[in-house]
Structure 1
Amino acid sequence: MGILWFILIFISLTSHGDAHGPDSCNHEGGLCRVGNCISGEYLARYCFEPIILCCKSLSTTTAKR
């Protein structure tokens, strides 16, 4: 029965069209995280929807003249 749940979770993670994968997230400056983004980050998209999030850090830099 445990193997059946593992297969169902795997199929669920790979079947979503909105997930772009960890390579795409890392290429755009984000990190894949399980559960929630940490303080100072925001949800940019999903690495594997709905469990693994692609989090990017909030940009607080200002342009100096």
Structure 2
Amino acid sequence: MGILWFILIFVSLTCHGDAYGPDSCKQEGGLCRLGNCVSGEYLANYCFQPIILCCKTLSPTTTKS
């Protein structure tokens, strides 16, 4: 019975829905973070949905004078 749970967990981790993965996140200039994005970052995608987020740095606002 224990091996059945292991297989179920493994399958659920490999089928992560709309997640892009860590390589895609890094190519787009983001970082994978567990839980929440830090201050100054926003959620761009998921590395592994729903736990590991792909966070990107907020761009500095430019002002024209």
Q: After TM superposition, is the score higher than 0.5?
A: yes
TM class by shorter chain equals 0.7 to 0.9
How far the C-alpha of 1:13 sits from its partner, in A, is: 2.3
1:22 is aligned to 22
Structure 2 gaps of 5+ residues are none
Identity of matched residues, %: 79
Structure-to-structure mapping, 1:26-45, within 5 angstroms: 26-45=26-45
Could you tell me the TM-score, scaled by structure 2's length? 0.77
**Structure 1: unaligned runs, 5 residues or longer:** none
- Which entry has the higher C-alpha Rg, 1 or 2? 2
Paired residues of 1:40 and 1:57 also in contact (CA < 8 A): yes
Alignment of 1:1-65 (within 5 A): 1=2, 7-62=7-62
Aligned length: 64
